[in-house]
């Protein structure tokens, strides 16, 4: 059996993320006098080099920052090319249904779906601008200083971690697309056509070049300089829709996080286009029920509440710049009470309500002044679109897979539009005072992981590490429910859930259940930090 880790107690500052080298980069910045935002950026930038199957320079970023007085949200998510329409997608795919939309989970429409690979699902990368915008508002060290570790690992190489090697191998086991847009992928991201082995040295000097350009120009080169011109030219030569004009038009968006009450606490997520509303709705539904001790009742209620949250998220969440998303209505106490009334003692198949209208890495950091950051970035499915820009060493995301093709849906694919996003940073407060940042990466698992982590913290009084160690469940669609072996070992749990109509399977692949990090303020001062035990998670402090 695996022994649980102990929580890290740090008196001054801390970093927690999914790769030890990235955590060390963030800690080094804290020790040099940087603040929590500087540390988060150094960690995030390093993650693009040391964990490329899960995130890259060509991905998106979302963050929540506690500045000492209040929360700020940043949606650094790119928009679709101006030339992307439903008609273009159907013409290019022959109107054939695609598999990847199922990765979003929950109730999905039948019929044609967005493809996962190639140029069609590529949206403008938002991460480089997000790094710059976070730094411009909150950073204290020079922007270029935050790239040092990432550039060094890309230029000179680093040993591939065990968890990253496994993720890399799983990604490359997927069918390999063909076409001119994919030729650079194998050269950059395989070793003799294979994934690198754990401990094997891997380097990406082209990515070092790109990172230097971003560092030197404050990301301007990525959106209006040489990198933008190279992306425009590569797309034009290989059938892509992305243009220099699309890149130049990109902007991040500062937003106000949204919240629900949960047993004396406030849980915060970012508003759409992310799926954080699914987690908030589930917790809001559960908050109106008395806590239960029986594990069957507990898991059943959480699963059914999550189903309701996902049904609404998939029906209503879209780009709020383009459609009226009923965010306030979905979180209204009266609406949550009506959704709560739908819960029974039987496993159900979720249906969306009608409210009143009004592949990923995660990290969290804190510093001695109380600044805290919850940050998540991704290229989505393993290596994103698998389109790699020749000479620059990074893959482009496939976030456009999150669009819908059914006419009339608010998340219908269209030009200059942000798709439904799976990546969501979280934050917990109590009576307005910060508790700390948290997140659980893993596509459709993320809101479910948020619900389980918050419940383990608030209901069970667990520290961040113990909350992350707790066995998890995962719901994908219908009545199918996966549980970890340690959860299945609880006496009567599987039989009790099956008696309620859940189709339970015990799954021993840890990646199914997501990877998380959490960091809480300690009552006596300093920080209590947890790191994911299912992967190479590292919590470091000083």
At 39-65, the pLDDT tens digits run 999 999 999 999 999 999 999 999 999
Question: Is residue 71 predicted with pLDDT exceeding 60?
Answer: yes
Confidence of residue 177 (pLDDT cuts 50, 70, 90): confident
More confident residue, 101 or 292: 292
Strand order in the sheet with 426-430: 8-10, 527-531, 515-521, 433-441, 426-430, 265-269, 258-262
> How do residues 136-169 score in pLDDT, each as one tens digit?
999 999 999 999 999 999 999 999 999 999 999 9
Give the tens place of pLDDT for each residue, 372-382: 999 999 999 99
Collapse the DSSP code of 121 into the 3-class scheme (helix H, G, I; strand E, B; otherwise coil) and give the result: coil
Q: What's the rounded Cα separation, in Å, for the pair 25 and 365?
A: 12
How far apart are alpha carbons 19 and 372 in whole angstroms?
19
Q: Is 516 exposed, middle or buried (0-12, 13-18, 19+ CB in 10 A)?
A: buried
Dump pLDDT digits (tens) for 441-481.
Answer: 988 999 999 999 999 999 999 999 999 999 999 998 999 99
Closest CA to 346 of 298, 317, 304: 304
| Residue-wise pLDDT tens digits, 330-358 | 999 999 999 999 999 999 988 887 776 54
Using CA atoms, how far apart are residues 157 and 150, in angstroms rounded to an integer?
Answer: 10
* Residue 123 appears among annotated catalytic residues: no
3-state helix, strand, coil in the chain (%, to 5): 40, 20, 45
Give the closest residue to 375 by CA, choosing from 148, 153, 80, 63. 63
Average pLDDT taken over every residue of the chain = 94
Asked if residue 174 has pLDDT above 90, the reply is no
8-10 and 14-17 beta bridge pairing: unpaired
The SS3 assignment for 36 reads helix
Q: Which residues pair with 361 in a beta bridge?
A: 377
Neighbours of 32 (CB within 10 A): 13
Q: What is the mean pLDDT of residues 273-296?
A: 95
**Separation of alpha carbons 264 and 349, rounded Å:** 30
Please state the domain extents for the chain.
Answer: 15-53+78-252+381-399
Is the distance from CB of 283 to CB of 428 less than 8 angstroms?
no
Of the candidates 164, 360, 365, 401, the residue annotated as catalytic is 360
- pLDDT at position 111 over 70: no
Give residue-wise pLDDT tens across range 8-39: 999 999 999 999 999 999 999 999 999 999 99
- The model's pTM: 0.95
């Amino acid at each position: 059996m695996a022994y649980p880790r102990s929580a890290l107690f740090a008196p001054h500052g801390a970093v927690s993320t999914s790769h030890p080298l990235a955590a060390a980069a963030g800690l080094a910045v804290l020790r040099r006098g940087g603040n929590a935002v500087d540390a988060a950026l150094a960690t995030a930038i390093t993650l693009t080099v040391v964990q490329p199957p899960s995130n890259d320079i060509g991905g998106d970023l979302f963050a929540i920052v506690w500045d000492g007085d209040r929360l700020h949200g940043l949606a650094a998510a790119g928009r679709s090319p101006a030339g992307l329409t439903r008609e273009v997608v159907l013409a290019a795919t022959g109107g054939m249904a695609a598999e990847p939309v199922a990765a979003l989970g929950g109730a999905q429409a039948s019929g044609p779906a967005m493809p996962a690979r190639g140029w069609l699902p590529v949206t403008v990368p938002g991460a480089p601008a997000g790094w710059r915008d976070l730094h411009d508002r909150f950073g204290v060290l020079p922007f270029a200083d935050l790239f040092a570790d990432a550039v060094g690992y890309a230029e000179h190489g680093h040993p591939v971690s065990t968890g990253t090697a496994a993720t890399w191998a799983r990604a490359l086991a997927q069918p390999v697309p063909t076409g001119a847009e994919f030729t650079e992928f194998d050269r950059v991201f395989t070793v003799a056509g294979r994934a690198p082995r754990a401990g094997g040295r891997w380097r990406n000097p082209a990515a070092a070049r790109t990172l230097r350009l971003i560092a030197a120009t404050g990301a301007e080169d990525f959106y209006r300089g040489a990198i933008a011109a190279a992306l425009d030219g590569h797309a034009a030569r290989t059938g892509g829709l992305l243009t220099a004009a699309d890149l130049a038009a990109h902007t991040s968006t500062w937003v106000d996080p949204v919240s629900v009450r949960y047993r004396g606490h406030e849980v915060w997520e970012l508003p759409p286009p992310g799926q954080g509303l699914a987690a908030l709705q589930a917790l809001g539904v559960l908050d109106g029920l008395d806590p239960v001790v029986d594990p069957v009742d507990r898991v059943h209620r959480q699963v059914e509440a999550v189903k309701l949250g996902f049904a609404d998220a998939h029906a209503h969440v879209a780009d709020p710049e383009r459609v009226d998303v009923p965010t306030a209505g979905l979180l209204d106490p009266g609406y949550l009470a009506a959704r709560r009334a739908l819960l029974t003692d039987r496993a159900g198949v979720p249906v969306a309500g009608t409210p009143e209208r009004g592949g990923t890495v995660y990290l969290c950091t804190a510093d001695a002044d109380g600044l805290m950051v919850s940050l998540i970035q991704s290229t989505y499915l393993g290596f994103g679109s698998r389109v790699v820009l020749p000479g620059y060493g990074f893959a482009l995301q496939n976030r456009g897979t999150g669009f819908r093709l059914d006419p009339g849906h608010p998340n219908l694919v269209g030009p200059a539009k942000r798709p439904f996003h799976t990546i969501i940073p979280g934050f917990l407060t109590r009576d307005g005072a910060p508790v700390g940042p948290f997140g659980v990466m893993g596509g459709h698992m993320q809101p479910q992981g948020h619900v389980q982590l918050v419940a383990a913290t608030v209901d069970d009084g667990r520290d961040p590490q113990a909350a992350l160690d707790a066995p998890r469940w995962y719901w994908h669609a219908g009545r199918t429910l996966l549980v970890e072996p340690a959860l299945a070992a609880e006496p009567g749990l599987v039989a009790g859930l099956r008696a309620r109509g859940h189709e339970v399977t015990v799954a021993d692949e840890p990646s199914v259940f997501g990877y998380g990090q959490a960091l809480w303020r300690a009552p006596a001062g300093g920080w209590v930090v947890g790191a994911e035990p299912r992967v190479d998670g590292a919590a470091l402090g000083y």
